[in-house]
Amino acid sequence: MGAAADEGHVGPSPDRGCLRGRRRDGGDPRPLLGQRDPRRTAGQAGTAGLVRTQRQDPPGGEPWALPRPAGSGGGGLQRRRRPPAVPRRLLPRASGGVHPGQGRFAPLCRLPGPDPASARQRIPRPRADHRRGRHRPPGRRVQPALTNARSRNGVFVRKQESFVFDPLYAVAVVVPIFNVERYLPECLDSLARQTIFDRCQVVLVDNGSSDSSPAIAAEFAARHPNVWAFVHAEGKAGGARNAGMDLVSARYITFCDSDDVLPDDALETMWRTAVKERVPLTIGRMETFPEETNWPWLRYFGKQVQVHPGIENIPEMIHGGSACHKLFDIEFIRANNIRFREGVHFEDAFFSVPAMLLADRIAMVPATVYKYRKRAAEDSTMDKLWERTANYWDHLLLEEYLMTLRSRLSGHRQEVLNRFLVRSYQGFALRAPQVLSEEELYQLFQRARAVYTLVTPDAVLASTHDARHRVPFLAMYMNWYELFARPDQAISGVYGRGGDLYLDVAVPSALLPLTKISATSVHVERIQADPESGGVLVAGRFVLNGLPMGRPMRNRLQLWVEKSGQMVPAQQVWRSDLVATRDDLAWGGFEAVVPAGALKDGEFPLKLVFCTSGRDVSRPCMTTTAMLRSARPMKVADRWVLPLSKGKDNAVLVVREARGRDGDKDWEDFLEGLDQDQKKRKAPFWRARAIRRATLRFYRRKEIWLIGERRDTAQDNSLHLFTYLRKHERRRKAYYIIEKGSADRAKLKRMGNVVAHSSWKHKLLMLHASLLINAYDIDSYMLPDGWDRTKYLKHLNWRIGARRVFLQHGVTDEDGSKALHRNRTGVDLVFATSDREAQYFSEHMHYGDQAKALGFPRFDALQPDRGRRRVLLMPTWRKYLTIPSYLQQDGADQNAVDEIFRESTYREFMVQLLRHPKLMEALEHYDYVLDFLPHYEMRNMIDGVVPDHPRVQRLDQTKVSVQTALRQCELFITDWSSVHFDMAYLGTPLVYARFDPDEYWAKHARKGYFEAAYDGFGPVCGNVEDVVTEVIRYLSNGCVREPEYDYRARSFFAFADRDNCARATAAIAELAASNG
């Protein structure tokens, strides 16, 4: 095959007899399709040297005839010899000169060339010979083929032509390609490893890639005679799939996205099942990687192949709309005129859903036949599913198209279709008022009505989770546009009927079930003494699914202390943490004050009562983590009150009279009785409670302060507070918890009272601690190994009654209410550095006087140590690019997000900045070194980010503390890290490198009270070039901060002294002495 190889041959070898014919003039055989024509001139080299064949029918219907290439000599058409007949069998093997590439299909490589029209060339499809008496090759079936698809008003109109299935190919695989050079080789390798690859007809269709994907596809096609590669830059992915489907000649067809992979036996498994069971549709199991997805329809896959008479037997399968883990009988597809919709999103559903609805037999293969790659957020077209306006119209187009099939379906399949229509569009219908303009919204409402008024209310009821998702369909049934567009204004309350709650709207009786509140949840998050009223404050949240809570509801609320006869008013409260979850939950908070003096001894369950114009309806109050964190005995109005969780997490108040010494003694006896009951029932932590009771006499008059940070660190506010206590307040029983092998443990060795994490002493001190003090999450980092967090909070924490102090590890300038709200944390005291920050905690996050502007203990040691000519780059982390350390112990897999990080804007910016030639030159010129200090949560992910350059250095936190790096740097660069406040306190100039504001605010944080452009302490830059410019400017002037930023720094902080630790100690001691 030397000549062919020398001429850039990309098809099968001529020695294998693929598409070789003899010239009528007796000359050399014509070149192969995709092979360079040696008779072309030198000026026609390159892409133009590929033989291009026009799609046309041979005159007179001559079988197996192809047009002679231009300039090849001889006139007219050349006749190709009929290939030898192949016996019909499941898997004929290549022998006796028969090769998978031999036959009427030849490999074709279509790559982008100088002529764009050439990219749309097609292989001529040979026609079956219908002349009377002409024998068809055995094993070939004649089937009308539908090609030349065109869309006319949403209806596919195609030319009919006869079609012959090629027995040499068992399965055809169509792979649409678009800018996937990174993943495409892995995908193609998985195809080449298929156990029946020699029986596979692979069509690679590039959809107009701008990277090297077409070259990768061409190279793969050149190595395999059963692979074709060409370009079809129209119709997006749907057009590419249709173009590939028009070319195949195998009986069965499947599809593979170019960034996914197939298990080695995937195609053979599905093909053998399809042939054996004679089904038009075969479905295999699909898995996602690197992170798994548990689709509801996976439950239909058993241990063996199952054949169902239709989709009605497996109705949830209709939501598996991908065409990639399915094998279709192409005869069935063409007979039912099923095509991918071109130029739209959800093109798979236009193909797969009709196929599932129309198939009379469906085989389910239990084996995994497809592995779907969950790609990085910025590359996935599904990430902004609800944000892209076009998606609302594309999916509505799908619903309208599916309704045209309704008349062809049986009653059961119509019900499956109805449920698909409702479930697949409910998210769009719900969010459309926030995304579309008024004009667009009205148009969508009218078009959607035409579809969904034909869907039964029962289907809506069965396919939606709650009334919130049913309201849009209710509006369509009633032609009530205002309800669809502005449900928060149309619905403002609930109505009680028969113990259930309904949306308070007037509807026909047939539609009444759609207004039923299917789920009502009430959670208590805080129970504490209220000094002003002398009662007990009960605060929590409630959710009435379907009722918008963007403004207060018109119904009154009451808190019922069951079995006590007490019913007290409850007030709706606006909650910032609920807004951060969903805007229409804003007024879902409530507060009530229970007069403790009116309560007698007993256990009283709590219920929230919704007062309506019908019947009042009550719902039990459930406990939350926050309530259990702050639960402890408190003395209120001569009563001992203890919040507990009973039964199935029901919130109850345990009340005992507390008058005189006898009252206190009775209370202690009561608590010991609870311990004994815990022991008898072998409830969780019964041994710990027994040990606590046995050792209590050794700790009764000792106030234990347990201090820590992360399990392995001693670098932040906790370290500095502990250092102060061991130097100036040694009388206090303060202990620092840290892992035994930690590098930071050496800093604490000479101070004493250092306890190994999870040691027996750690556990014993936890049983008697008065205060748990941490700069991070207490439950995540301070609980000993083996202590289940939920069981600890429910069965042990309240028995100990330790106060919780949150020192913070950075100034809060963003809206962290979703995690830091008082009703989420259960914290009793939170530190702030400024009056603005304390006010933000107090009012925005409902801490009241539990938030205090005391300054950070670490600020006492913030004294500049300059002169080392260091520039410090210290970006913060991104929660969507890593698994936080406090979740890794719960089994989270960091590998699931590694790929996302590698493709992130975050990594790209760091790489570009640390390699910027102008920056490197400036560092060299002004004799500075750039230190890169990654965030603790990102430290294991930045391999390959820091270049091997003498002026760039990565700092190791196990060798250099964060505070040391801060004090020694002369210029600071960060993105959103709160450490910029430390640098402002130090007087160090800084540059804000805020390169991803939209992504950061959408996925990591919410804006708070601080705006760097107006309140910040340095210039704000949005790209690498601006950052480099500002850094060079500071290096050139000796790293001097401007007077404007000096003024902003002085104005922000409440204190600018070295007494932060002293104030912290006094505030914590005051908390320990308080009650409630």
What CATH number does the domain containing 348 carry?
3.90.550.10
Note the residue count of the chain: 1076
Tell whether 545 and 647 lie within a shared domain. Answer: yes
Rounded Cα distance, 678 and 371, in Å: 49
- 917 shares its domain with 822: no
SS3 531: coil
Euclidean distance between CA atoms 719 and 1027, whole angstroms: 33
Name residues whose C-beta falls within 8 Å of residue 463's C-beta, 6 or more positions apart in sequence.
418, 419, 422, 423, 426
Q: Are residues 395 and 366 in the same domain?
A: no
Residues 283 and 262 reside in one and the same domain: yes
Relative to beta strand 851-853, strand 829-832 is parallel
Task: Kindly state the helix (H) or strand (E) to which residue 454 belongs, with its residue range.
Answer: none
811 Cβ contact list (under 8 Å, min separation 6): 832, 833, 834, 837, 856, 978, 981
Q: Please indicate, yes or no, if residue 335 is contained in any of the structural domains.
A: yes
Torsion, Cα of 929, 932, 933, 937 (10° steps): 180
Distance CA 101, CA 94 (A): 10
Distance CA 294, CA 360 (A): 27
Say if 288 falls within a structural domain.
yes
Q: Is residue 134 included in any domain, yes or no? A: no
Shared-domain flag, residues 964 and 869: yes
- Name the burial class of residue 851, with classes exposed (0-12), middle (13-18) and buried (19+) by CB atoms within 10 angstroms of its CB: buried
Residue 1063 lies in a domain: no
Helix (H/G/I), strand (E/B), else coil: 189: helix
Are 640 and 542 within one domain?
yes
- The beta strands (E) that lie in 481-601 are given as 494-497, 500-503, 520-530, 535-544, 556-561, 566-573, 589-594
Query: CA geometry: angle at 680 spanning 677 and 683, to 5°?
Result: 80
User: In this structure, are 367 and 461 located in the same domain?
Assistant: no
Boundaries of domain holding 280? 142-373
How many domains is the chain partitioned into structurally?
6
Q: Is residue 789 part of a domain?
A: yes
Q: Which of 855, 886, 911 marks a domain boundary?
A: 855
Say whether both 629 and 717 belong to one domain: no
1061 falls within a domain: no
CA–CA gap between residue 333 and residue 1005 (Å, rounded):
48
> Same domain for 830 and 910?
no
Tokens of 412: 């059961």
Looking up residue 1036, the CATH number of its domain turns out to be 3.40.50.12580
Residue where a domain stops, chosen among 631, 649, 680: 680
| Rounded to 5°, angle at Cα 741 from 739 and 744 | 75
Coil, helix or strand at residue 718: helix
Please give the pLDDT value at position 216.
96
Question: Which tokens belong to 863?
Answer: 């004294």
Helix (H, G, I), strand (E, B) or coil at 748: helix
What's the average pLDDT block by block, 10 residues per block, for the chain (1076 residues)?
36 34 37 34 34 34 33 38 37 32 34 36 37 36 36 38 76 95 95 96 94 95 94 87 93 96 96 97 92 85 94 95 96 95 92 97 96 64 72 96 96 96 95 95 97 96 92 96 94 93 94 93 96 92 93 96 94 95 92 92 96 94 96 91 94 89 84 92 94 93 95 94 96 96 90 96 97 96 96 96 96 93 96 97 96 96 90 90 62 58 87 94 95 85 83 85 90 94 94 93 90 95 96 95 96 95 97 81
Residue with the two structure tokens 């040391």: 964
Residue with structure tokens 């702050």? 630
Q: Given this model, what pLDDT does residue 375 score?
A: 65
Residue 362: enclosing H or E segment and its boundaries? Answer: strand 362-373
Quick one: residue 638, left, alpha or beta (phi over 0 = left, psi -120 to 50 = alpha)?
A: left
Cα separation of 394 and 1010, whole Å? 40
Q: Are residues 1024 and 983 in the same domain?
A: yes
Q: How is residue 468 written in tokens? A: 């919130």
* Structure tokens that stand for 286 in this block: 């699909």
What CA–CA distance (Å, rounded) separates 260 from 375?
A: 10
Q: Is residue 29 domain-resident?
A: yes
Return left, alpha or beta for 657; rule: phi > 0 is left, psi -120 to 50 is alpha, else beta. beta
CB 38 within 8 Å of CB 31: yes
Q: How far is CA 1056 from CA 710, 725, 833, 987, in A?
A: 28, 21, 10, 11
Q: Say whether both 277 and 426 belong to one domain.
A: no
Strand partners, 541: 523, 589
- 3-class DSSP assignment, residue 142: strand
Alpha carbons 1063 and 598: distance in angstroms, whole number: 39
Domain termination site, one of 468, 490, 512 = 490
User: What gap in Å lies between CA 158 and CA 148, rounded to an integer?
Assistant: 6
Has residue 137 been placed in a domain? no
CA atoms within 13 A on the CB side of 438: 2
- Residues 290 and 160 grouped into a single domain: yes
Bond into 14 cis (ω within 30): no
